[in-house]
Structure formats: structure tokens, C-alpha cells
Chain A
Amino acid sequence: MKWHYALGALGVLFLGTGHAWGLFFAPPEFMMGDVGRILYAHVPTAWNAMLVYLFAFVAAIGTLWTSKSSWESWLVGFVEVGVVLNILLCFQGAMWAKPTWGVYWDWDPRLTTTAILIALFAGVLIQRNLFHAPDKRRIITGVTAVIAFVNVPIVYFATTWWNSLHQGLSSPDTVSNPMHWPLRVSAFGVLFLAVAFSAERAKQERARLEREDTAPTLPLAQKQLELGAE
């Protein structure tokens, strides 16, 4: 099934359209001028990072409930793409923060919880690679992903629960009309691309797990490994 290639192509198309629209046709932001155009990259990245982590959470529940490698592969795909979006988010934010707030970074509640989010989900991937027994590894990946997800609503509500330097949640009411559509189109572009990349990584992971499953056991090598470990 190559549906995700089509989805990825659609993502590139949407993202290209949304960004061209935002860069060349939408008006500059009243206060920030042209710098404000990073809105079309940063806000879609933020929304989709949270959304992809939500997908990972659902996949983690599916993985633990069914113990199926198909769910587990999707889980890995979503967590990886989520971490990439999350890291991008922080760099885009830093680029935007310097000319507007005056600093690249500040330990305000939103930024701090977002940085912790990278550590948590990167931790899920690191944990996963520490275990080689398939059942143990699957459970560890699922459990850590479910627990890491707790921080996602905390990041989302950070600007509501605590006072912060970061602005509050954007909504159609707070974004001026000519900026709505480039923002929405860019957001769908990032979503399609994120799902396409996750699907590709899930496919690769599924193949890897199957290879692992059907690989002949090597009693001697196993024994040597165990001896070496002691």
C-alpha cells in the first residue's frame, strides 16, 4: 500500500501553497511586520506535534491492549515524528522569540514544559532500544508513551494555568481574517506530511519486527551474549 506517498505529496502541495500564501500574499502582521509570518510555520508545527503525540497515545493503548506488532509499529512511527516536530517547534520558536520578545529562550511555563516533552518522548525511544525481548520491549514502549503523554495537555494548558511570556492559545477569533486560510492550509500540509512520514516509519518498523520474528535462533551466539553480560 502506497497511500502514504500520495498523502505526503498532498502535504508538500498544501504546505507549499500555505507558505507561499503566507509569505507573499497575506498581509504583514501589524506589530511584528514580516517576522510575524513565521506564524504559518510555528503554529502548524505546534498543533501537529500535539496531534501526532495524541495519535501515539492512541497507538500505545492499542499496542498494550492487542499486543500486536502492527499497533506497535504505528506507535514508534508517531513517537519519532512527534519528537522531530517538537524539536522543530523549539527552533522555530527561538527564531521568532529573538526579534519579538528579545530573547531566544526563556524558562517560562510553556517553553519549559515543551522542552520536557522532547525529553519524555525521546526517552520512550531510548527505553525501547534498551530492551531486546519483544514482549518486554512492546510493553515498555507502550507504558512509557502513555505516561509521557500526560505532559501534552500540560503543555497545551500551560499558558492558561500559569502566567507566561508565551502568548495564549490562538483561535480563529484571535487571528485576523486574511491570515486564516494560509494558516489552515499550512496546518493541513504539516498534518499530511506528519502522517505520511509516520506511516513510512511504521512500515519499516513492522518489516523489522517481522524479520526479527522469523530470524533463526542462534543458540550459541545467545549463550555467548549471556556469558558476556555476566
Chain B
Amino acid sequence: MSSNNMTSRLFLVGALLVAGGGLAFVAMSDMGENLVYYWEPTQLMEAGEDAYGAQIRLAGLVETDSLVWDEPSQTVKLVVVDANEVKVPVIAHGAPPQMLREGIGVVVEGTYTQAGIFEADQLLVKHSNEYKAPEEGATADELYQTLEQDFKTN
């Protein structure tokens, strides 16, 4: 075996070590604790005073019978609920995504006000990983079980 070959193999071992170390670092470290894409209502409430005024992403399910679309003011009102049944009322401005409905997941971005209302500048719908054929009389929360589990296991 030539020395070139040997060098190449040493580089292979080095690259694999760097790669394995990098992956282990990301997998084992507490990055999940520090890298938070959104809060759920429970975490928002736990933050207490700190929650007011800060730009926050809040996610949860749209509570049944809470969704109101006010056409003249182009405002959506809804209540976001999580697994602990903690609820946060949300007001979002602008036309919502067509998929928005009760029982589906949402991610809202905005600020939590002293009045106890979350003022959202952006409302996104979070779809689940379940793809279903239409069923007679089925509702969103019957069909999308993993989305609910998402907000139950977290």
C-alpha cells in the first residue's frame, strides 16, 4: 500500500471521528432546551412576568367553539389550548390560512399583553403527519391524533 493510500485512510478515520463527535454532541447535548421554536400555553404561563411584551411563538390546538373570524376588522379570535388544558386567548390580524379550523394545530407569533391576550402578527397552521382520506362526518380532532399527542407528550 502506498503512503498516499495510508494518508487517505487516516483522513477517513479523522473525518469519521469529527462527524461522529459532532452528531453525538447535537444528539446528547441540551440543545433542545436552549433551541426552542415555540412555547405552549403552559410554558407561557410559567414564564410569568417575563412573558409580557416579548416576541414569542406560541403553539397549541385551536379550542373547539373558540374560533371567530371578524370580516370587517379582518381579525381572527381563537383560544389556543395545550395538553394541560391551559388556555390562551389569541387575536390575530389579517386573513388566516384557509386550513385554519377548530381542532387543528397553530403556531402564532406575537406578544402576550398585560390584558392576558396574545396579540399575533402571524398565524400559521401546523398540520400533522397524518394524511387521511375524507370520511363521512369526521372532524379534525378525530382524524389527526398525532397532533394531539404532540401537544400531550411535550
Assess the A139–B138 pair: CB atoms within 8 A: no
Question: Given A31-B143, A139-B11: A103 and B36 within 8 A (CB)?
Answer: no
Interfacial residues of chain A within 73-130, with CB under 8 A of chain B in the complex: 99-103, 106, 108-109
Question: How many residues of chain A are within 8 Å of chain B by beta carbon?
Answer: 51
Assess the A154–B98 pair: CB atoms within 8 A: no
Assess the A27–B133 pair: CB atoms within 8 A: yes
- Does A164 belong to the interface (CB within 8 Å)? yes
Bound-state Cα–Cα, A64 to B13, Å: 9
Bound-state Cα–Cα, A61 to B133, Å: 43
Assess the B124–A36 pair: CB atoms within 8 A: no
Q: Most chain-B Cβ atoms within 10 A of its Cβ — which of A30, A66, A108, A139?
A: A30
Among A31, A36, A106, contact of B104 (Cβ-Cβ < 8 Å): A31
- Does A39 belong to the interface (CB within 8 Å)? yes
Question: Which of the 9-residue segments B18-26, B46-54, B64-72, B83-91 touches chain A?
Answer: B18-26
Instruction: Tell me which residues across on chain A come within 8 A of B2, comparing CB atoms.
Output: 67
Question: Given A138-B8, A142-B12, A163-B36: A150 and B19 within 8 A (CB)?
Answer: yes
Among B7, B123, B144, B150, contact of A31 (Cβ-Cβ < 8 Å): B144
Assess the A31–B140 pair: CB atoms within 8 A: yes
- Does A16 belong to the interface (CB within 8 Å)? no
Chain A's closest residue to B138 (CB) is A30
B82-111 interface code vs A (CB 8 A; 1 in, 0 out): 000000000000001111010010010000
Q: How far, in Å, is B135 (CB) from chain A's closest CB?
A: 7
B interface, how many residues as a size bin?
35 or more
Q: How far, in Å, is B139 (CB) from chain A's closest CB?
A: 10
Assess the B130–A174 pair: CB atoms within 8 A: yes
Interfacial residues of chain B within 107-134, with CB under 8 A of chain A in the complex: 107, 122-134
Chain B's closest residue to A63 (CB) is B8
Q: How far, in Å, is A37 (CB) from chain B's closest CB?
A: 10
Assess the A102–B35 pair: CB atoms within 8 A: no
- Does A65 belong to the interface (CB within 8 Å)? yes
- Does B146 belong to the interface (CB within 8 Å)? yes
Chain B's closest residue to A39 (CB) is B131
Among A29, A64, A153, A162, contact of B131 (Cβ-Cβ < 8 Å): A29
Question: Given A142-B15, A175-B131: A163 and B59 within 8 A (CB)?
Answer: yes
Assess the A65–B131 pair: CB atoms within 8 A: no
Q: How far, in Å, is A24 (CB) from chain B's closest CB?
A: 15
Assess the A146–B97 pair: CB atoms within 8 A: no
Question: Given A30-B143, A163-B154: A109 and B8 within 8 A (CB)?
Answer: no
Q: Which residues of A are in contact with B by a Cβ distance under 8 Å?
A: 26-32, 36, 39, 60-61, 64-67, 99-103, 106, 108-109, 135, 138-139, 142-143, 146-147, 149-150, 153-154, 157, 161-165, 167-171, 174-179
**Besides A102-B96, A170-B129, 8 new A-B residue pairs in contact (Cβ under 8 A), listed by A number:** A30-B133, A32-B99, A66-B5, A100-B97, A106-B124, A157-B27, A162-B32, A176-B130
Closest CB pairs A-B (n = 4)? A102-B97, A64-B12, A146-B15, A27-B133
